[in-house]
Homo-oligomer: A and B are copies of this chain.
Amino acid sequence: MRRLGEIELISEYLAPLAAHPGAFGLKDDAALLTGLPATGLAITADGLVAGVHFFEDDDPGDAAYKALAVNISDLAAKAARPLAYTMTLALEEAPSEDWAERFSNGLARAQAKFGIALIGGDTITARGSWWISITAFGEASPRGLVPRTGAKAGDLLYVSGTLGDAALGLRLRQGTLGQHLTQAQRDFLIARYLYPEPRLSLAPALASFATAAMDISDGLALDLSRMCAASGVSAEVSVTAIPLSDAARAAVNCQSEAIETILTGGDDYEILAAVPPDLASAFEAASLHAQVPAARIGTVAAGAAPPKFKAANGSGLILKIKGFEHFKV
């Protein structure tokens, strides 16, 4: 099996991903982004580490796909349109052709799906597990970025898609979720874990109607608490209103604690948005137009405080863990 040096990896596998004219075929020291948006450039950075954000034995193409998708999800949540990205890739040893092909194919799939091209980066030696660090650029909406900080008491809280699928998919990968699901349900949850679906088409609805928005990457409980803290508000969420896929509902029906996983597990990459009540029907219509399901899960309350989660019987849910944090102390 042929192994690739840095130069072959770049010229044969990464340069074809850099169709952007400002990438100079990845042959120069810097890229040039021109035709810059008058609205400003949205910039986000997210890194993924093997053994932390994905399994060491995951397909490298799936890891690459996810690395780009989670960055695009941040752009989507801020109502920005993807333009280009840089990637620093660190490998402990020279990759095989097979590895490079799978990795670059995963990136190519993600690029095609999200309408974005590689514009530059770095390939270096890792000391430990391999990792990918991406910085993505987007065109800001005419109002700029939809912030985390704008939620107001009385706003309605919406989430896109369904929550908890990826966290349940992770538990299936880890073997800690029961065997009561059908194969189709298992496949669905694992696919949701592997292939986040950034809600780019929701951008116009967010830009026009949301007072605050963010993507849910570390679990609804933790990310909503972050939005509340940033906005100086609290929130009340009806757990029964949280949109669940059939597979997630099947998991909850058999194992009621699965609702904890759904609220705190993370990796959803769905959008959490606060919308003033008088704009709610317009927001819902815009979501429908964007073909992104948006479910109303609760309301924003006055006073900076952690959000409350109410069960069907009206009692408050106490979550044992809040969500995922890196190097938590």
Contacts and interface: CB of A to CB of B under 8 A. Distances in A.
Interface string A128-144: 11010101011010001
A58 interface: no
B32 A145 contact: yes
Contacts of A24: 147, 149
By Cβ-Cβ distance, the 9 closest A-B pairs, closest first, are: A128-B128, A133-B133, A127-B129, A36-B36, A135-B135, A34-B40, A47-B88, A30-B44, A94-B327
A124 B52 contact: yes
Contacts of A48: 124
A30 B78 contact: yes
A287 B327 CA distance: 47
Interface residues of A, number: 76
A284 interface: no
A135 B86 contact: yes
A42 B212 CA distance: 31
Contact of A33 (B43, B74, B90, B120): B43
A215 to B, nearest CB: 6
A207 to B, nearest CB: 13
Given A3-B329, A47-B88, A124-B47, A148 B29 contact: yes
Contacts of A95: 327
A42 B53 contact: no
Contacts of A117: none
A297 interface: no
Contacts of A57: none
A126 interface: yes
A5 B88 contact: no
- Among A28, A40, A138, A230: residue with most chain B CB under 10 A: A28
A13 to B, nearest CB: 13
A243 B43 CA distance: 40
A119 interface: yes
B120 A44 contact: yes
Nearest to A40: B34
A7 B328 CA distance: 9
A30 B88 contact: no
Nearest to A7: B325
Interface in A66-89: 74-75, 77-78, 80, 86-88
A320 interface: no
B326 A123 contact: yes
A4 interface: yes
A45 B121 contact: yes
B45 A127 contact: no
Given A90-B49, A124-B49, A148-B29, A43 B119 contact: yes
